[in-house]
Chains A and B, each alone.
Chain A
Amino acid sequence: MKALTVAKKEVADHMNSNTFLIVFGLMLLLTGATAFQGAQSFQDQMDRFQESQNSDNERIGGFAPDKPSILDAFTMLTQGVNFPLIGGLLALLLSYNTVSGERDRNTLKLLTSYPLHRDSIISGKFIAGIFTLTVASAAAFMVASAIIIGMTGAAVTGAAAARILLMLGGTVLYMSCIYGLGTLLSTVFDDSSTALTGGVLALVISALVVPQMAFMISDVLVEDNEETDITVGEGSSGLSESYEKRMNIRNTVTKVFPTGSYGNFMQYMMGQDPSSIGISTGGSEEAESEPSVMESLNSSLGNLGLLAGEAILFFGASFVIFTRREIS
């Protein structure tokens, strides 16, 4: 299969490129530092939890601290700049010159003069990108897991291990989506610098601008007429109605963009509900019953579907444009 021949060369090119080595190195460094912080935070929470247990269920500030999960140590990795931004940047830097680079280097005319279907060229490049990003993500997760487990000594249950593996899968899917976007831009634009500028702009909008816009939109659409976001009493979910409405609007807006879908998926995988992030409902019944892995996966299917759909859409569009465009 010719696509695999192309992919083999592309993987070697990616792995040996200075760009990949620098950004991957940066991602590993950040992963290490963030995992270190996550492990320390987990340890602090565990100490507070044990303290409250030892002092006869003493409540701190009115709430008893929950027993922390080892997954909490991964929160910063998946929600901060690490995977959403640096991971996205790595995917973009590997893809922005997928086609335009061949055009810039004048190798595209040579390549397309060989009896090689153009779909093999673009598919080979896509396979190579996904493989490289899978290796990079797996290495980052392994480093993070080693630091967190090594520092905390916490036992990783089967469910936690399954959640970590699903998080890795989600990260690969998110990066594939950004890789697809970069490939599409490199197919549409004649030169690589325009493709890179467009890609960085799209990533910044998706990761930084859209979440802020979502907050503004939700605040404008839903009037906040309640004094507090937390409610108490029988039959209450622990969150005010207006707060839930605002969070639903925010999630709907952000999940249309890859970074938002990825963020939501990761929260589900950590056993959290993205619509209640930022609010601890403490003693409510909902907060005490952590969903199973399957329940979390089911809840996140919409986000996962959006990510997969966007990746397929970007790749499909690149494929169609590349196979029909003239080589000049």
Chain B
Amino acid sequence: MNDAIVQIDGLDKSYGNHVALQNLELEIEKGEVFGLLGPNGSGKTTLFQTMMGQLTPTSGDIQVLGQDAYKDTFDVSKGVGFLPADIRFYDNLTARKNLEYLAELVDEDPDIEELLELVNLQEEADKKVSGFSHGMQKRLGIAQTLIKEPDLILFDEPTTGLDPERKEDFKDLIQRINKEKDITVIVASHILHEIENLCDRIGVLKDGKIQVTGTPEDIMDEADAETLEEAYLEITRGDFR
């Protein structure tokens, strides 16, 4: 029995003449922390939005939690938490009210205090989000991904806008929710340092295609490089393959 929580076969996505994803193949297993690494515009956000059913695939098959991500969007979204890269909340509501509203939409009764504490926002809980910095909105965004008690969380550029200390906190948080709550995590980033030492496996995306997947060691071997950074540069800038 295949233990894949995400199974993508031959996925294509185009916007007019622009090809965002082409013949993308990817399999992610339950319990993994998977890093999706690629430069800006390589298709990471498009892939996440297609997995959430927000974008329609041009062709190919995309299964998330055993369901068709496009046809069964409602069921897929029940089990998947999503942090969009450009996340914003309702400015006129407080952090707590935003979380309560989202929880009410899904008939969940999460421990809001615990979620706020998890991202160190308990002191700002009753302040309106309009006064929040980008980093604070990101942290609140991370908290909202847990409202649904998901099996899978997609983090799109989660550490952008966070200060270095918070970035480390975020890495700890990912590992905690992966180990303690048994949640599969996919982290998309264009910055290698932010996902190395965090992910079990990494997939490098370039021009809408997964170039290589594997553990950091596998990737270094494939690119014939001494370090992961060197391998990443070789894959994304050079004539890899």
The answer to whether A and B come from one shared complex is yes
Q: Point out residues on A near B: beta carbons under 8 Å.
A: 2, 5-6, 9, 13, 16, 105-107, 109-117, 326-328
Chain A residues whose CB sits within 8 angstroms of the CB of B89 once the complex forms: 107, 110
Q: Give the distance to chain B from A318, nearest Cβ to Cβ, in Å.
A: 18
Contact B54 A112 (CB under 8 A): yes
| Residue from the list B74, B87, B104, B106 in contact with A106, Cβ < 8 A | B87
What class of interface size applies to chain B in its complex with A? 20 to 34
| Residue from the list A109, A117, A327 in contact with B74, Cβ < 8 A | A117
Contact A107 B88 (CB under 8 A): yes
Contact B54 A115 (CB under 8 A): no
Contact B148 A115 (CB under 8 A): yes
The proximity string for B residues 54-75 relative to A, scoring 1 for CB distances below 8 Å and 0 otherwise, is: 1110000000000000000011
Contact B105 A116 (CB under 8 A): yes
**8 extra A-B contacts, CB within 8 A, seeds A16-B92, A113-B81:** A106-B87, A107-B90, A110-B141, A113-B77, A113-B82, A114-B77, A114-B105, A115-B75
Contact B84 A110 (CB under 8 A): yes
Contact B101 A9 (CB under 8 A): yes
Residue of A nearest to B104 (CB): A5
Contact B54 A106 (CB under 8 A): no
- Knowing A107-B90, A114-B148, A327-B54, say if A5 contacts B77 (CB, 8 Å): no
Q: Give the distance to chain A from B228, nearest Cβ to Cβ, in Å.
A: 30
| Residue from the list A13, A16, A326 in contact with B54, Cβ < 8 A | A326
Contact B56 A326 (CB under 8 A): yes
Residue of A nearest to B84 (CB): A109
Instruction: List B91-119 residues whose CB lies under 8 Å from chain A.
Output: 91-92, 101-102, 104-106
CA of A139 to CA of B148 in the docked complex: distance in angstroms?
41
B52 part of interface (Cβ distance < 8 Å): yes
Q: Give the distance to chain B from A135, nearest Cβ to Cβ, in Å.
A: 19
CA of A327 to CA of B46 in the docked complex: distance in angstroms?
11
Contact A328 B87 (CB under 8 A): no
Q: Give the distance to chain B from A17, nearest Cβ to Cβ, in Å.
A: 8
Contact B101 A115 (CB under 8 A): no
Q: Point out residues on B near A: beta carbons under 8 Å.
A: 49, 52, 54-56, 74-75, 77-78, 80-82, 84, 86-92, 101-102, 104-106, 141, 144, 148
Q: Give the distance to chain B from A166, nearest Cβ to Cβ, in Å.
A: 36
| Residue from the list A110, A114, A328 in contact with B106, Cβ < 8 A | A114
Contact A105 B91 (CB under 8 A): yes
| Top-4 shortest CB links A-B | A327-B54, A113-B82, A106-B88, A115-B78
Chain B residues whose CB sits within 8 angstroms of the CB of A110 once the complex forms: 82, 84, 87-89, 102, 141, 144
CA of A105 to CA of B81 in the docked complex: distance in angstroms?
20
Chain A residues whose CB sits within 8 angstroms of the CB of B148 once the complex forms: 114-115
- Knowing A2-B105, A114-B77, say if A328 contacts B55 (CB, 8 Å): yes
Q: Give the distance to chain A from B82, nearest Cβ to Cβ, in Å.
A: 4
| Residue from the list A111, A115, A327 in contact with B55, Cβ < 8 A | A327
Chain A residues whose CB sits within 8 angstroms of the CB of B92 once the complex forms: 13, 16
CA of A109 to CA of B55 in the docked complex: distance in angstroms?
11
Q: Give the distance to chain A from B213, nearest Cβ to Cβ, in Å.
A: 25
Chain A residues whose CB sits within 8 angstroms of the CB of B55 once the complex forms: 326-328
Q: Give the distance to chain A from B191, nearest Cβ to Cβ, in Å.
A: 21
Chain B residues whose CB sits within 8 angstroms of the CB of A328 once the complex forms: 49, 54-55
Residue of B nearest to A326 (CB): B55
Q: Give the distance to chain B from A201, nearest Cβ to Cβ, in Å.
A: 28
Contact B105 A109 (CB under 8 A): no
Chain A residues whose CB sits within 8 angstroms of the CB of B101 once the complex forms: 5, 9
Chain B residues whose CB sits within 8 angstroms of the CB of A5 once the complex forms: 101, 104-105
- Knowing A16-B92, A105-B88, A106-B87, say if A327 contacts B106 (CB, 8 Å): no
Point out which of B75, B78, B90 has the most chain A C-beta atoms below 10 A from its C-beta: B90
Contact B91 A109 (CB under 8 A): no
